[in-house]
Each structure stands twice: as C-alpha cells, then as structure tokens.
Amino acid sequence: MKMNVEIDCTPEEARRFLGLPDVSRANDVYVDAVAKAMQGVGNLEQLQGYAKQLAPMGEMGLKMFQKFVEQGAGAAMAGFNSGAAGKKDTK
C-alpha cells in the first residue's frame, strides 16, 4: 500500500510542529558576519580564506560536510539501484 500525505504549512509552522529549535537569531548573526567579511574581498584567494575562517570548524568542517554529502548521495544511489533491480513487472 502506498499513501501520500500533503501538508500545507510555512517553514516556521513545520519547525514548531517537529519541535526543532528556532535558530533564526543565530543565522542572522552568522549571515551578518559573512556579509561584513565579504565587503573587503578583492580576489578569489581572499574569498576562499574568509570562507575557511567563517565556516564552522574551518576547513575541516567543510571537508567533513563534503564527505557527508558524498556518502549520502552514494547511499541514495545504491538504494535506488537495488530497488530498481529488485522490482518485478506485475502486468
């Protein structure tokens, strides 16, 4: 049996329903810090240096996030491929 449920709500309503914390103030502070730092950027190397400094945990955090995304994409593709191979045509 397959069931689809559509819920029409704002991101704020969804966050509250799921019990997630409100991080809007922290996000505003982070975005302001990035915007201020980017005002003085004159070239690509300077931009990369600022990005490494401002990112959580610096360059290590960026590499961990990249690895996380790559592993998630790999697992999703493996699940997709095994699901497609295991289905039989019932027509």
Residue with structure tokens 């990035």? 34
Segments of the chain scoring below 50 in pLDDT: 86
Range of the domain at 38: 10-54
pLDDT at 2: 92
pLDDT at 4: 92
pTM of the full structure: 0.38
| Residues 6 or more apart whose Cβ sits within 8 Å of residue 17 | 9
CA angle 61, 66, 68 (to 5 degrees): 95
Q: Residues 22, 46: one domain?
A: yes
The domain tally of the chain equals: 2
Q: Residues 45, 66: one domain?
A: no
Is 4 inside any structural domain? no
Distance from chain centroid for Cα 71: 13
